Amino acid sequence: MKLETERFWLNRYNPETDLLEHQVMYQSEAVRLPLGWTDPPDLSLMTRRYVDRAERWEAHTPGSGTFTIRWKDSGRLAGIILLKALPFGDDTFSEHIEIGWHLAEPDWGKGVATEAASKVMSYGFEHLNLPAVWAIAATDNYRSHRVMERIGLRFTEETDRYYGETGVLYGLLREEYFSANREPV
């Protein structure tokens, strides 16, 4: 599956071709800290976690998973975007589907997350027929809060139900998406 925006190709994540470049993003402390990670993840651990989680996400919601965000002009990885089951703190899944993004620090402030998330959210509603899309971020991750608002999600609550820590939850129902954008396909 390949999605396209004005500036990016969004492809299904492939650990064989994407993992090394993906891991480089996490060398930046600024990228890791909003995710609650103090140290860069180990490559072999990332591989095992990704493969296990990707299989579980796909089983939970066929068509969901991780997508790379690559600049059309250079092919360089700008980040990843996730559309997947939102986990509770114990890594079991809720019924909610989450959209999330991790961006390479040089690409911050360029509208990457907004452009890619808008496209992946459309894919979720229009092709996966999701009933809602949710996003969660740390309470002080104001950059992500702004992206959530720009793609049409609305603040729902502050909660500690997901990921085992407190965050702000935003969401958008399918009906709200289509009334704001267009009729269902």
3-state secondary structure 37-82: CCCCCCHHHHHHHHHHHHHHHHHHCCCCEEEEEEECCCCCEEEEEE
All residue ranges of the chain with pLDDT < 50 are: 185
Cα distances (Å, whole numbers) of residue 60 to 41, 44, 85: 25, 24, 7
Angle (deg, nearest 10), helices 15-25 and 43-60: 120
Instruction: Give the pLDDT confidence of 68-117 residue by residue, as tens digits.
Output: 999 999 999 999 999 999 988 777 899 999 999 999 999 999 999 999 99
Query: Which residues share a beta bridge with 100?
Result: 82
Please tell me the pTM assigned to this model: 0.87
